[in-house]
Amino acid sequence: MGTTETERRDDPPVLQAFARFLGLQRGLSPHTLRAYVTDVGQLLDHLRAGAGDADHVAADAEDADHLTVDAEDPDPLARLDLTTLRAWLADQRRRGMSRATLARRTAAVRTFCTWAHRNGHLPQDVGARLRSPRPNRHLPTVLAVDDAAQLLAVAQDRAGDDDPVHLRDWAALELLYATGVRISELVGIDVPDVDAGERTVRVTGKGDKDRVVPFGVPAGRALAAWLERGRPALAGPASARALFLGARGGRVDPRTIRAVVHRLTAVAGVPDLAPHGLRHSAATHLLAGGSDLRTVQEVLGHSSLATTQRYTHVTPERLLAAYTQAHPRA
């Protein structure tokens, strides 16, 4: 097997093997896989350098490539124990690293320690008792229902000139709000994934898991306009089966759709938000409209119901209505 962007020739063998395990058996997204390997690479470098010399391993994994273990110290795992792991994470916390990043790094090293123990690299799973810090729950902006309608009306009006890019933007925003899909899932949709008759779309989420998500009449109308009058004008040799295309005919870049969302929220005069804010708005509005958490979990593609609860709100009005309906002495 050849090397990849995540698994590099200058990585220590144990890190290369761990990267292959993550890629082949865990089904992680490329971004998460790279972050995990980066985190473990920095832990190994910390072990090589010694517990008191970690200045060069405190960089955030999203902004730095993983470091490699010096060939003169081929077995840094010999010094790996629970105390060292806790000290490594505590040092990064003191340096101001966010709780979300610390939580991810904790998960990465726990996964690594379990794998290393099972494959004979560690005599015991030293990370099993490592507790993850709770990340700060900064939820994205949620649009009011009227604001969401205003945003989509602006996108539709803008597409009235039949400009292919404007038709694409309208369809993309309608589908983001109608389905609650992630931006990475949206740009990965192919034309055959859309069932116009059933008004459903198949998306590939985290861990390469497919799910089918319904969408409503407005999104269906926008998609039909895009497929009939917009996409053919942009399609070219690089288009393949991609549903949403960029100006040059290739699959649209997530950054392009992200910029469109920011631009149209400004035009519509509604609170600024990213595509993930439309996902969160969709989930919140589903709950406010009477949907249950399990249904929203399926729509969003969450593996854990706890994740769905973190992404949703229960308004006081909905809480009171549910209490009044359900409690025998309400």
Both structure tokens of 162: 């039949």
Name the helix (H) or strand (E) containing 212. strand 210-214
Asked if 276 is an active-site residue, the reply is yes
Tokens 């393949």 belong to 240
The Cβ-side half-sphere exposure at 129, using a 13 Å CA radius, reads: 7
Residues 104, 300: Cα–Cα separation, whole Å: 21
**Catalytically annotated residue among 206, 211, 262, 318:** 206
Asked if 168 is an active-site residue, the reply is no
**Catalytically annotated residue among 34, 158, 231, 276:** 276
Could you tell me if 193 and 202 are in contact, meaning their C-beta atoms sit under 8 angstroms apart?
Answer: yes
Tokens 């082949």 belong to 24
**Catalytically annotated residue among 46, 231, 280, 302:** 302
**Catalytically annotated residue among 48, 279, 280, 285:** 279
Q: Return the DSSP state at 161.
A: G
**Catalytically annotated residue among 182, 251, 280, 285:** 182
Our measurement of the distance from residue 93's CA atom to the centroid of its chain's CA atoms, rounded to an integer in Å, reads 24
Asked if 302 is an active-site residue, the reply is yes
Residues 218, 221: Cα–Cα separation, whole Å: 5
Asked if 258 is an active-site residue, the reply is no
Residues 179, 286: Cα–Cα separation, whole Å: 10
Residues 30, 5: Cα–Cα separation, whole Å: 9
Our measurement of the distance from residue 202's CA atom to the centroid of its chain's CA atoms, rounded to an integer in Å, reads 17
Could you tell me if 5 and 34 are in contact, meaning their C-beta atoms sit under 8 angstroms apart?
Answer: yes
Could you tell me if 111 and 36 are in contact, meaning their C-beta atoms sit under 8 angstroms apart?
Answer: yes
Q: Strand 200-204's sheet: what is its strand order?
A: 194-195, 200-204, 210-214
- Residues near 312 by beta carbon (within 8 Å), at least 6 away in sequence: 280, 283, 284, 287, 293, 296
Asked if 66 is an active-site residue, the reply is no
Residues 38, 15: Cα–Cα separation, whole Å: 9
Could you tell me if 76 and 69 are in contact, meaning their C-beta atoms sit under 8 angstroms apart?
Answer: yes
**So which residues are the catalytic ones?**
182, 206, 276, 279, 302, 311
